[in-house]
Structure 1
Amino acid sequence: MSKKILIIGLGSIGQRHLRNLISLGYKDICLVRRNANVLKGFSKLKVFKSIFEACKNEDFNTAIITTPTANHFKDFLDISNYNIQNIYIEKPVTHSVEESLKINEIATQFSLNVVVGYDLHFDLGLLKVKELLHENTIGKICSFQVEVGQYLPDWRPNEDYREGMSAKKTLGGGVMLDLIHEFDYTNWLFGPIKSVFGKNKQISNLEIETEDISINIIETQQGVLGTISLDYLQKELSRTCKIIGDQGTIIWNYKESKVLWMTHNNIVWQEFIFTHIERNDRFVSIIKAFMDSSFNNLDERLSTVNNSIESLKMVVCAKKSNKENKFLEL
């Protein structure tokens, strides 16, 4: 069956998905964006001002939602009215657990293929880490340290960071939702999660309404203890995960495209290096996997709505924990 695709929202990630779909050979693509001017290089594509207008004029079987997080729920509800079977929602699924549960309910009721865009599941380094853990390379997992930070004004150099989604509470911004990848892959590698203690605040001189620092302590159902540290502040990108087992250690370094591991029986660092992979390759991989998937045939690397609810619960619990100053169970 041929794919007729509607992309809703055309910010930086929407443009990336559009270019990648075209590179994969998909041509039957329409756009929904508030500014109906077609981007340079895409003059042949039809652009509509609303989902209603698009679906009134065309029949789609695939939709990709890349609007601000706070709009995801409404956009999904609008899309679900038009019998569109394949829906990709950029992460996070929403900023509300209640909304995400409703999306999951609708997706299940109507057998919709709904995927949430956690592209780090396609990072070769994290896939290698998952393989090493599956093989019990470092024995029983005891603890982990997850960390990511990058200076917000550098994220999108051609945009004013103060006006973007990250800076606005009403749009679902803040370092915890922006960098929810870290909560997601923590659950993916070590879950299920039992409890969270979080501290987060806006502490720097960035001109934003949202938190720019988030420090969290995590306990899994298996009794593993870990930390997740997020910030909008580090001028040089830092993104790492260190896992300590009772028989060794694994380190994933995203920036250096490298996984290192050492065991008690082999005290020499072994390396898995994937510097030949470009950042966009994993975005190509995830959108291709989505386009090749269906409700009953889903690539195991793809995140369902049900999967994504768990990481959202972690964020919501961490924010509530900050206010109540205590550990909270998921």
Structure 2
Amino acid sequence: MTVKQVGIIMNGVTGRMGTRQHLIRSIIAIREQGGVPLANGDIIMPDPILVGRDANKLQALAEKHKIDRWSTNVDECLADPYNIIYFDSQTTVRRVEAIRKAIKAGKHIYCEKPTATSTKESLELAELATQAGVKNGVVQDKLFLPGLLKLKRLVDSGFFGEMLSVRMEFGYWVFEGDWQEGQRPSWNYRKEDGGGMIVDMFAHWRYVLDNLFGHVKSVSCLGVTHIPQRIDEKGTPYACTADDAAYATFELEGGIIAQVNSSWAVRVNREDLLTIQVDGTEGSAVAGLRDCKVQHRVNTPKPVWNPDIENPFNFSEQWVNVPDNQIFDNGFKIQWELFLKHVAADEPFAWSLLEGAKGTQLADLGIQSWAERRWIDVPELSLGVKQDGETVYTAK
């Protein structure tokens, strides 16, 4: 048995998501379990170096979690051949330049989404990685949530018959920051800093819809800024220039219709922060982050609309829970393990920078639909082609 040490540059891990999900619940958890086993008996052991702009935060984070390496100099980390993977969970507006540098340095790329603030830049990153021959991947964590894994199990089994529609409700009330501190950073609500519900969440909805139900063919979207002013981390009021809610309809292949409401200005009266209802000719399902329940055709009640009497049905009791039937690990950790196997053992990994570009594309088209108040078709993306010595990015 050989233990393969894999140096990983982790840029942006002082943020909430980077610390909790990628560092603590993924890389540290993998180290504590003894690494990632390969089929030949070898072990992959991730060895992170924490990178960022604030030395005090980095040192404190490294000491707290017994990590030996940290740095504020990204270029030095990229120049070290020991570090073979570059991971980026910075804010979106900083991501493109950093990934370009990492690709040029020959590092394999793994990053959060959105991969860029425009489809053109997202495709450019995918093209650069392909030309450089480096492996690359994008975090698509919701595919590994227990509730969505159960949904995928139902889809693969043919439970739904012909799928008809998908309805997704996502969001919660994010406090404005006056009498209660907000749960999200202020940059999320400034367009100039890469914020906005559409930019943030359509990258998720693209891979969820594509991988579970059918490729997205067209979009109709309305974005809204419901809360025009919030209070930032320093207690200073600021104008919200980005959308904090989006109301969208997507047409999927096979004629499936998906309605998706996303809002940071909604109070939750449902079973989870994200719920997905799928209706088909043979049955329906409702999934949250962890649970999933179903109602088959033969168990469907026969209600009749009659507002003059008390409703005789308790509809929620007429659904059956889908059993776990397996142990569910943290979704971020699962995908990290898959990417490490991809880099160290050339095992397959489906969620490339090109897949990430599809999420940016859907956000761009959603914003265009909102601006033009019309349906927009979603073309198939392709990487760059050379015209007169320059790379031109196209959509088929």
TM, length-normalised to structure 1: 0.88
SS in 1 for 2:116: coil
User: Larger deviation: 100-109 or 317-326?
Assistant: 100-109
In structure 1, the residue matched to 2:337 is: 288
Aligned: 1:259 with 2:292? yes
SS in 2 for 1:265: helix
**Contact 2:50–2:62 under 8 Å retained in 1:** no
Aligned: 1:23 with 2:23? no
Query: Deviation string for 1:261-283 (max 9, x for gaps)?
Result: 222134463312559978x8222
Q: Structure 2: which 5+ runs fail to align?
A: 32-44, 231-239, 301-317, 379-396
Matches within 5 A, 1:164-203: 164-180=186-202, 181-203=204-226
Distance 1:93 1:76 in 2: 9
Distance 1:231 1:142 in 2: 24
In structure 2, the residue matched to 1:147 is: 169
Deviation at 1:163, TM superposition (A): 5.4
In structure 1, the residue matched to 2:16 is: 12
Deviation at 1:41, TM superposition (A): 4.9
Matches within 5 A, 1:81-160: 81-85=104-108, 87-153=109-175
In structure 1, the residue matched to 2:41 is: none
Distance 1:250 1:154 in 2: 34
Aligned CA distance change for structure 1 residues 178 and 290 (closer, same or farther; 3 Å) = same
Rg (Cα) greater in structure: 2
Aligned CA distance change for structure 1 residues 325 and 27 (closer, same or farther; 3 Å) = closer
Deviation at 1:39, TM superposition (A): 4.2
In structure 1, the residue matched to 2:347 is: 297
Aligned CA distance change for structure 1 residues 60 and 154 (closer, same or farther; 3 Å) = farther
Distance 2:214 2:187 in 1: 29
Superposition RMSD in Å:
2.7
Read off the aligned partner of 1:78 and give its amino acid letter.
K
Runs of 4+ in 1 over 6 A off after TM superposition: 275-278
Read off the aligned partner of 2:190 and give its amino acid letter.
K
Residue-pair matches, total = 322
1:217 to 230, 236, 249: 249
In structure 2, the residue matched to 1:240 is: 275
**Contact 2:251–2:258 under 8 Å retained in 1:** yes
Distance 1:132 1:276 in 2: 15
**Contact 1:183–1:228 under 8 Å retained in 2:** no
Matches within 5 A, 1:267-278: 267=300, 269-274=319-324
Aligned CA distance change for structure 1 residues 30 and 58 (closer, same or farther; 3 Å) = farther
Identical-residue share of aligned pairs (%): 21
Matches within 5 A, 1:33-44: 33-37=52-56, 38-43=58-63, 44=67
Distance 1:153 1:230 in 2: 16
Distance 1:227 1:96 in 2: 24
In structure 1, the residue matched to 2:6 is: 3
Distance 1:39 1:274 in 2: 40
Q: Structure 1: which 5+ runs fail to align?
A: none
Read off the aligned partner of 1:23 and give its amino acid letter.
A
In structure 2, the residue matched to 1:325 is: 373
Aligned: 1:45 with 2:68? yes
SS in 2 for 1:216: strand
SS in 2 for 1:293: helix
Distance 1:173 1:146 in 2: 21
Query: Deviation string for 1:37-68 (max 9, x for gaps)?
Result: 23435135333223213224563111110100
Aligned CA distance change for structure 1 residues 73 and 104 (closer, same or farther; 3 Å) = same
Aligned: 1:310 with 2:358? yes
1:74 to 97, 115, 118: 97
Distance 1:275 1:15 in 2: 30
Read off the aligned partner of 2:90 and give its amino acid letter.
T
Query: Deviation string for 1:187-206 (max 9, x for gaps)?
Result: 22222111101000202255
**Contact 2:137–2:349 under 8 Å retained in 1:** no
Aligned CA distance change for structure 1 residues 61 and 153 (closer, same or farther; 3 Å) = farther
Aligned CA distance change for structure 1 residues 165 and 273 (closer, same or farther; 3 Å) = farther
Distance 2:194 2:68 in 1: 29
Deviation at 1:79, TM superposition (A): 0.7
SS in 1 for 2:95: helix
